[in-house]
Amino acid sequence: MVILLNTCYIRDVMRRIAIVGLPNTGKSEVYNHLTGDYNIVANYPLTTIEVKQKTVKIHGEKYEIIDTPGLHDLFVHSEEELFMRNFLLEERPDGIIQCIDSNRIRLSLRLTLDLIELGIPLAICLNSIDDTDLDDIGFDPNKLSGFLGIPVVDFTNDGAGAERLKNVLNNLTPSSLELSYGEEIDSIVNELEAAFPSNVPFRRLAALLLIEGDHFILEGLGLDGRDAVLAEERFQSLYRRTRSNPVRLLAKRRALLEEVILNGAGMISRTPAGKTARLFAEAARHPVFGFPILGAIIVVTYLLVVEGAGAVEGVLSGFIVDPVVERISSAVSSEFFRDFLVGPYGILTLGLFNAIVTVLPVLTAFFIMLGLLEDTGYLPNLSVLTRRVLGRIGLTGKSIMSLVLGFGCKTMATMTTRNIRSRKEKLIAIYLIAFAIPCSAQLAIDIAILGRIGVRAFLIYLFTLALVEIAAGFILNKILPDDEGEDFIQELPPIRAPKVGAIAKKTGYRLLWFLKEAVPVFVIASIVLFAAERTGILNATKRFLSPVVTGWLGLPLDIVEVLILSLARHEAAAGLLLNMVDGGALSYVQSLVAVVITTMFVPCFANIVAMCRQIGVVRGLAITLIINVSSFVLAGILNWILIAAGL
Partner 1 sequence: MNEKRMKEEYLETLWYMDESKENSLEYFNREAGEELQPKLLDQLKEDEMISVDADTISLTEKGRDFTRRLIRSHRLAERLVHDVLGAEFEAGACEFEHIVNPDLVDSICTLLGHPRECPHGMPIPRGKCCIEHAQIVESSVIPLDQLEVGETARIAYVYAPNDQQLHRLENLLVRPGMTVKLHQRYPSFVIECENSHIALDERVAADIHVWVSAERHQAAVPRPYGRRRRRHELRHNLRRRQGG
Residues lying near partner 1 in the complex (CB under 8 A): 72-73, 75, 77-78, 103-104, 106-107, 110, 213, 239-240, 243-245, 247-249, 251, 255, 270-273, 281-282, 285-287, 380, 383-388, 391, 396, 421, 484, 487-492, 494
**CB closer to partner 1 out of 104 and 505:** 104
Distance CA(415)–CA(406), nearest Å, equals 10
Q: Are 405 and 434 in contact (CB under 8 A)?
A: no
Smallest distance from the beta carbon of 109 to partner 1, in angstroms?
A: 9
Smallest distance from the beta carbon of 19 to partner 1, in angstroms?
A: 19
CA 374 to chain centre: 11
Smallest distance from the beta carbon of 506 to partner 1, in angstroms?
A: 24
φ, ψ of residue 120 to 5 degrees: the values are -85, 140
Distance CA(345)–CA(354), nearest Å, equals 11
Question: Reduced to 3 states, what is the DSSP secondary structure of residue 290?
Answer: helix
**CB closer to partner 1 out of 121 and 397:** 397
Smallest distance from the beta carbon of 319 to partner 1, in angstroms?
A: 49
Smallest distance from the beta carbon of 379 to partner 1, in angstroms?
A: 13
Smallest distance from the beta carbon of 263 to partner 1, in angstroms?
A: 15
Smallest distance from the beta carbon of 151 to partner 1, in angstroms?
A: 24
Residue of 366, 444, 432 lying closest to 405 (CA atoms): 432
**CB closer to partner 1 out of 103 and 364:** 103
**DSSP sequence for 547-599:** IIIIIIS---TTHHHHHHHHHH-HHHHHHHHHHHHHTT-S-HHHHHHHHHHHH
Smallest distance from the beta carbon of 573 to partner 1, in angstroms?
A: 36
Smallest distance from the beta carbon of 424 to partner 1, in angstroms?
A: 15
Question: Reduced to 3 states, what is the DSSP secondary structure of residue 403?
Answer: helix
**CB closer to partner 1 out of 20 and 350:** 20
H or E element in which residue 537 lies: helix 537-546
Smallest distance from the beta carbon of 200 to partner 1, in angstroms?
A: 24
Smallest distance from the beta carbon of 43 to partner 1, in angstroms?
A: 13
Residue 88 vs residues 153, 171, 197: alpha-carbon distances, Å: 22, 20, 20
**CB closer to partner 1 out of 62 and 270:** 270
**DSSP sequence for 340-369:** HHHSTT-IIIIIIIIIIIIIHHHHHHHHHH
- The residue type found at 405 is L
Smallest distance from the beta carbon of 279 to partner 1, in angstroms?
A: 12
Q: Are 346 and 530 in contact (CB under 8 A)?
A: yes
**DSSP sequence for 167-197:** HHGGG-B---PPP--HHHHHHHHHHHHHHS-
Smallest distance from the beta carbon of 202 to partner 1, in angstroms?
A: 20
Smallest distance from the beta carbon of 404 to partner 1, in angstroms?
A: 12
**CB closer to partner 1 out of 119 and 391:** 391
**CB closer to partner 1 out of 15 and 421:** 421
φ, ψ of residue 277 to 5 degrees: the values are -60, -45
User: Please, which residues bridge with residue 100 across strands?
Assistant: 126
DSSP letter at 65 equals E
φ, ψ of residue 154 to 5 degrees: the values are -90, 120
**CB closer to partner 1 out of 62 and 215:** 215
**CB closer to partner 1 out of 117 and 558:** 117
> How many C-beta neighbours within 10 Å does residue 315 have?
12
| Burial tier of 585 (Cβ tally within 10 Å: 0-12, 13-18, 19+) | middle
Angle at Cα 479 formed by Cα 618 and Cα 640, nearest 5°? 90
Question: Reduced to 3 states, what is the DSSP secondary structure of residue 42?
Answer: coil
**CB closer to partner 1 out of 273 and 298:** 273
**CB closer to partner 1 out of 420 and 444:** 420
**CB closer to partner 1 out of 141 and 391:** 391
**CB closer to partner 1 out of 77 and 92:** 77
| Paired sense of beta strands 14-21 and 122-127, if any | unpaired
The torsion angle over the Cα atoms of residues 554, 557, 559 and 563, rounded to 10 degrees, is: 100
**CB closer to partner 1 out of 104 and 166:** 104
Residue 225 vs residues 204, 229, 489: alpha-carbon distances, Å: 20, 6, 37
φ, ψ of residue 348 to 5 degrees: the values are -85, -50
| Paired sense of beta strands 152-154 and 52-58, if any | unpaired
Q: Are 248 and 184 in contact (CB under 8 A)?
A: no
Smallest distance from the beta carbon of 297 to partner 1, in angstroms?
A: 18
Q: Are 136 and 271 in contact (CB under 8 A)?
A: yes
Q: Are 441 and 521 in contact (CB under 8 A)?
A: no
Smallest distance from the beta carbon of 448 to partner 1, in angstroms?
A: 32
**CB closer to partner 1 out of 235 and 435:** 235
DSSP letter at 305 equals I
Residue of 265, 93, 97, 72 lying closest to 177 (CA atoms): 265
Write a three-state SS string for 426-441.
HHHHHHHHHCCCCCHH
**CB closer to partner 1 out of 226 and 240:** 240
